[in-house]
Structure 1
Protein backbone atom coordinates (compact mmCIF):
# COMPACT_ATOMS: atom_id res chain seq x y z
CA UNK A 1 0.00 0.00 0.00
CA UNK A 2 1.41 3.37 -1.02
CA UNK A 3 1.22 6.23 1.50
CA UNK A 4 0.27 9.66 0.16
CA UNK A 5 0.34 13.05 1.86
CA UNK A 6 -2.33 15.74 1.28
CA UNK A 7 -0.03 17.43 -1.27
CA UNK A 8 0.04 14.23 -3.40
CA UNK A 9 3.56 13.29 -2.33
CA UNK A 10 3.36 9.48 -2.49
CA UNK A 11 5.96 7.16 -1.03
CA UNK A 12 6.04 3.39 -1.45
CA UNK A 13 5.99 1.32 1.73
CA UNK A 14 9.24 0.16 3.26
CA UNK A 15 10.00 -3.55 2.69
CA UNK A 16 8.89 -5.63 5.68
CA UNK A 17 12.35 -7.15 6.11
CA UNK A 18 14.05 -3.84 6.96
CA UNK A 19 12.55 -3.78 10.45
CA UNK A 20 14.01 -7.24 11.07
CA UNK A 21 17.60 -6.25 10.24
CA UNK A 22 20.13 -5.66 12.95
CA UNK A 23 23.82 -4.88 13.09
CA UNK A 24 26.24 -7.63 12.19
CA UNK A 25 27.88 -9.32 15.18
CA UNK A 26 31.46 -8.49 15.97
CA UNK A 27 33.81 -10.67 13.92
CA UNK A 28 36.11 -12.99 15.81
CA UNK A 29 39.49 -14.21 14.64
CA UNK A 30 39.64 -17.95 14.12
CA UNK A 31 42.58 -19.87 15.61
CA UNK A 32 43.52 -21.39 12.24
CA UNK A 33 44.26 -20.15 8.74
CA UNK A 34 44.19 -23.31 6.62
CA UNK A 35 42.48 -26.70 6.70
CA UNK A 36 43.66 -29.78 4.80
CA UNK A 37 42.74 -33.46 4.86
CA UNK A 38 45.16 -36.00 6.32
CA UNK A 39 45.28 -38.78 3.66
CA UNK A 40 45.83 -41.52 6.25
CA UNK A 41 43.07 -40.65 8.72
CA UNK A 42 40.74 -38.72 6.37
CA UNK A 43 40.32 -36.03 9.03
CA UNK A 44 40.80 -32.28 8.85
CA UNK A 45 44.16 -30.82 9.87
CA UNK A 46 43.95 -27.20 11.01
CA UNK A 47 47.09 -25.05 10.79
CA UNK A 48 47.83 -21.56 12.09
CA UNK A 49 49.60 -18.75 10.25
CA UNK A 50 53.01 -20.29 11.03
CA UNK A 51 52.02 -23.69 9.61
CA UNK A 52 51.79 -25.35 13.03
CA UNK A 53 48.95 -27.80 13.69
CA UNK A 54 46.18 -26.34 15.86
CA UNK A 55 44.15 -28.71 18.06
CA UNK A 56 40.46 -28.05 17.47
CA UNK A 57 39.15 -30.32 20.23
CA UNK A 58 37.00 -33.40 20.03
CA UNK A 59 33.67 -33.30 18.26
CA UNK A 60 30.91 -35.86 18.64
CA UNK A 61 29.63 -37.74 15.63
CA UNK A 62 26.43 -39.58 15.09
CA UNK A 63 26.48 -43.30 15.73
CA UNK A 64 25.85 -45.77 12.97
CA UNK A 65 23.32 -47.78 14.95
CA UNK A 66 20.38 -49.01 12.86
CA UNK A 67 16.92 -47.82 13.78
CA UNK A 68 14.24 -50.13 15.11
CA UNK A 69 11.83 -49.20 12.32
CA UNK A 70 11.16 -51.89 9.72
CA UNK A 71 9.59 -51.74 6.29
CA UNK A 72 7.47 -54.63 5.17
CA UNK A 73 7.68 -55.20 1.43
CA UNK A 74 5.40 -58.26 1.23
CA UNK A 75 2.04 -58.50 2.94
CA UNK A 76 2.49 -62.26 3.47
CA UNK A 77 5.57 -61.69 5.67
CA UNK A 78 4.18 -58.76 7.69
CA UNK A 79 2.68 -58.91 11.13
CA UNK A 80 3.17 -61.28 14.03
CA UNK A 81 4.14 -64.87 13.44
CA UNK A 82 5.76 -64.22 10.06
Structure 2
Protein backbone atom coordinates (compact mmCIF):
# COMPACT_ATOMS: atom_id res chain seq x y z
CA UNK A 1 0.00 0.00 0.00
CA UNK A 2 2.93 2.30 0.61
CA UNK A 3 3.84 2.26 -3.08
CA UNK A 4 0.29 3.15 -4.10
CA UNK A 5 0.22 6.18 -1.79
CA UNK A 6 3.60 7.31 -3.13
CA UNK A 7 2.34 7.00 -6.71
CA UNK A 8 -0.77 8.99 -5.78
CA UNK A 9 1.32 11.77 -4.24
CA UNK A 10 3.60 11.84 -7.29
CA UNK A 11 0.61 12.02 -9.61
CA UNK A 12 -0.92 14.79 -7.49
CA UNK A 13 2.24 16.91 -7.67
CA UNK A 14 2.55 16.26 -11.40
CA UNK A 15 -1.03 17.42 -11.96
CA UNK A 16 -0.66 20.47 -9.73
CA UNK A 17 2.61 21.38 -11.45
CA UNK A 18 0.98 21.06 -14.86
CA UNK A 19 -1.92 23.31 -13.86
CA UNK A 20 0.42 25.87 -12.27
CA UNK A 21 2.63 25.93 -15.36
CA UNK A 22 -0.36 26.38 -17.66
CA UNK A 23 -1.79 29.21 -15.54
CA UNK A 24 1.58 30.97 -15.34
CA UNK A 25 1.96 30.69 -19.11
CA UNK A 26 -1.58 32.04 -19.55
CA UNK A 27 -0.76 35.09 -17.40
CA UNK A 28 2.37 35.80 -19.45
CA UNK A 29 0.57 35.43 -22.80
CA UNK A 30 -2.30 37.70 -21.70
CA UNK A 31 0.25 40.31 -20.56
CA UNK A 32 1.95 40.18 -23.95
CA UNK A 33 -1.37 40.51 -25.74
CA UNK A 34 -2.24 43.54 -23.61
CA UNK A 35 1.03 45.26 -24.48
CA UNK A 36 0.54 44.41 -28.17
CA UNK A 37 -2.98 45.85 -28.17
CA UNK A 38 -1.77 49.03 -26.46
CA UNK A 39 1.02 49.50 -29.00
CA UNK A 40 -1.40 48.99 -31.91
CA UNK A 41 -3.83 51.47 -30.36
CA UNK A 42 -1.04 54.03 -29.93
CA UNK A 43 -0.11 53.81 -33.63
CA UNK A 44 -3.60 54.68 -34.85
CA UNK A 45 -4.29 58.39 -35.33
CA UNK A 46 -6.74 59.84 -32.85
CA UNK A 47 -9.72 61.63 -34.39
CA UNK A 48 -10.79 64.76 -32.56
CA UNK A 49 -13.93 64.31 -30.52
CA UNK A 50 -16.93 66.15 -31.95
CA UNK A 51 -18.21 69.06 -29.93
CA UNK A 52 -21.33 68.18 -27.97
CA UNK A 53 -24.50 69.68 -29.34
CA UNK A 54 -26.70 71.54 -26.89
CA UNK A 55 -29.91 69.72 -26.09
CA UNK A 56 -33.04 71.44 -27.36
CA UNK A 57 -35.30 72.86 -24.71
CA UNK A 58 -38.52 70.88 -24.58
CA UNK A 59 -41.68 72.90 -24.29
CA UNK A 60 -44.95 71.12 -23.57
CA UNK A 61 -47.59 71.50 -26.24
CA UNK A 62 -50.43 71.35 -23.72
CA UNK A 63 -50.76 71.61 -19.97
CA UNK A 64 -51.66 67.95 -19.54
CA UNK A 65 -55.05 68.70 -18.04
CA UNK A 66 -56.68 66.03 -20.18
CA UNK A 67 -54.27 63.41 -18.88
CA UNK A 68 -54.82 64.45 -15.28
CA UNK A 69 -58.59 64.31 -15.72
CA UNK A 70 -58.42 60.84 -17.30
CA UNK A 71 -56.19 59.50 -14.54
CA UNK A 72 -58.41 61.02 -11.85
CA UNK A 73 -61.49 59.42 -13.42
CA UNK A 74 -59.75 56.04 -13.62
CA UNK A 75 -58.68 56.22 -9.97
CA UNK A 76 -62.19 57.22 -8.87
CA UNK A 77 -63.72 54.34 -10.82
CA UNK A 78 -61.19 51.89 -9.38
CA UNK A 79 -61.92 53.03 -5.83
CA UNK A 80 -65.66 52.77 -6.51
CA UNK A 81 -65.29 49.14 -7.64
CA UNK A 82 -63.29 48.31 -4.49
CA UNK A 83 -66.15 49.41 -2.23
CA UNK A 84 -68.55 46.80 -3.64
Structure ID, larger Rg: 2
Whichever structure has more strand as a proportion of its residues is 1
Bigger helix fraction:
2
Q: TM bucket by the smaller chain?
A: under 0.3
- The normalised TM-score by structure 2 is 0.20
- TM-score under structure 1 length normalisation: 0.21
- Point out which structure has higher relative CO (alpha carbons under 8 A, 6+ apart): 1
